[in-house]
Structure formats: C-alpha cells, structure tokens
Structure 1
Amino acid sequence: MVALLIVKEAGDLCRNAFDYLLDSKLTDTEEAKIIAVIEKHGDKFKGFHKLKTRKSGNMRHIDFHITVDPYTTALELHEITGCLKKAMWEEFQNTRVNIHVDPVGEEDQ
C-alpha cells in the first residue's frame, strides 16, 4: 500500500513538472477573461476572431485578430492595439500579446 502511494506521488510530481515544461492552452476561465477584456474595448474595432492561447513556462501567449474599418489610419491602429495590450497586461502579468489587424471582410478568408 505504501509503495502504491509513493508511485502515485512520483507520477503526480512528474506530471506537474512536464506541464510546466510543455506548452498548453490557457484554462477556460482565463480565456473567458481574455474575451471579456477584448469585448470591453469592442467599441474601438468591428470584431475579433481566431483567438489562440498557450502557456509556456510562466509566460502566457495570447494571439487574436481584430477587424477594423479599412480606412483606419496607422496611428489609430497603433492606439487600438496598444490599448488592448495594456488591458491584457493589467489582467495577466507575464503575457505576450500578438494582435493581427484585418480590414472588414477579411476575417472570412
């Protein structure tokens, strides 16, 4: 019985160690928070899609596309993506955010 408990603990320790070393998707709770942050700033763009998340070590990686009016200026796009990245950093520390910008109509490709 003691040997089985030792084997079980060893398995749990190995699984926890490998989970930290291998990339994995963020939890559903974290993804829901990400979507809430994006939607909170939804007045600045038309929509979002292709949300991808992963955790690598202690870093979170968030990647998504936003759709904007095709005539949005580069300065406006810079402000929109900067605002979204800042909001993500306030919610999640140790996070790298990548935002791809698509003009309206491009999201279906």
Structure 2
Amino acid sequence: MLYMSYDISSRAAGVLLDMAPDRRVIEAIEKSIRKSPEVTSFHKLKARYSGNRLFVDVHLRFDPAKSIDETHALGHRVKVQIIEDSPIVEEVNIHLEPEPALGGYIQDDKTRKA
C-alpha cells in the first residue's frame, strides 16, 4: 500500500511540476518537423508537460535566401504539423534561424557572412 501511494504521488507531482515527456513523444515531434523539406535542420528542441498538455519550443534552420514572409509561413506550417500530429500539444514556440552552413547567421561571434 505504501508503494502504491508513493507511485501515485510521484506521478501526480511530475504532472504538476512540468515534467518532461518520454523519448517517444520527442521522437514524434522530431518526425513532424522532418516532414517539412524546407527546414534544413533544427536544434534546442524542448518539451514540457503542464498538467496534461504539452508545450514545445524549437529552433528551426532554413535557407538564408528565403524572405521573411517565406520563413514565417514555414514556421507556421511546422507548428500546425506538430499540433496535428500530436493532439496533446497545447502550444509550439518556433524560433527561426538562417542555416549557418548556407551563409547565414553565425551564432558564436554574432556576425553575418558577407
């Protein structure tokens, strides 16, 4: 009985304290992102539960030759895809970055290639 009390309490505390999802959930989100061929790469994928809903934060990289409008639309499409594929996702925050390997922003020294 003591074990059952501990098990129930620890699961409830995890949900109340913004628990991280298991690896399968993260892999499903990664799969959703990879459906968009315009995303050249992504990083800093974070997800957390608040109650029974999931909140996602991710940095997407794209071709720096794309316009602001194109990249904004790309971010919106990826957000919608993640939510459609994972109904438990409540909110997706997407940070858009030009791909450094394609001549974009260099994060380390905060300069642009000429």
- TM-score where L is the length of structure 2: 0.80
Q: Deviations over 1:18-75 (max 9, x none)?
A: 122011211100111111111111x112211111111111221111111122232122
Separation (CA, whole Å) in 1 of partners of 2:106 and 2:52: 31
The correspondence for 1:86, drawn from 80, 86, 89, is 80
Q: Which amino acid letter does the alignment assign opposite residue 83 of structure 2?
A: W
With over 3 angstroms needed to count, the CA separation of the structure-2 counterparts of 1:11 and 1:82, relative to structure 1, is same
Indicate the residue corresponding to 2:64 in structure 1: 70
Query: Is structure 2 residue 30 aligned with structure 1 residue 35?
Result: yes
Percent identity between matched residues is 29
Indicate the residue corresponding to 1:104 in structure 2: 99
Q: Which amino acid letter does the alignment assign opposite residue 28 of structure 2?
A: K
Separation (CA, whole Å) in 1 of partners of 2:69 and 2:75: 10
- TM-score where L is the length of structure 1: 0.83
Separation (CA, whole Å) in 2 of partners of 1:11 and 1:62: 29
Q: Which amino acid letter does the alignment assign opposite residue 93 of structure 2?
A: N
Larger Rg: 1
Which structure has more helix as a fraction of its residues? 1
SS in 2 for 1:78: helix
- Does the aligned pair in 2 maintain the 1:67–1:107 contact within 8 Å? no
Uncovered stretches (5+) of structure 2, i.e. residues with no partner? 109-114
Query: Over aligned residues, Cα RMSD in angstroms?
Result: 1.6
With over 3 angstroms needed to count, the CA separation of the structure-2 counterparts of 1:60 and 1:12, relative to structure 1, is same
Uncovered stretches (5+) of structure 1, i.e. residues with no partner? 1-5
Separation (CA, whole Å) in 2 of partners of 1:40 and 1:68: 14
Q: Which runs of 4+ in 1 moved over 2 A?
A: 106-109
Separation (CA, whole Å) in 1 of partners of 2:26 and 2:106: 20
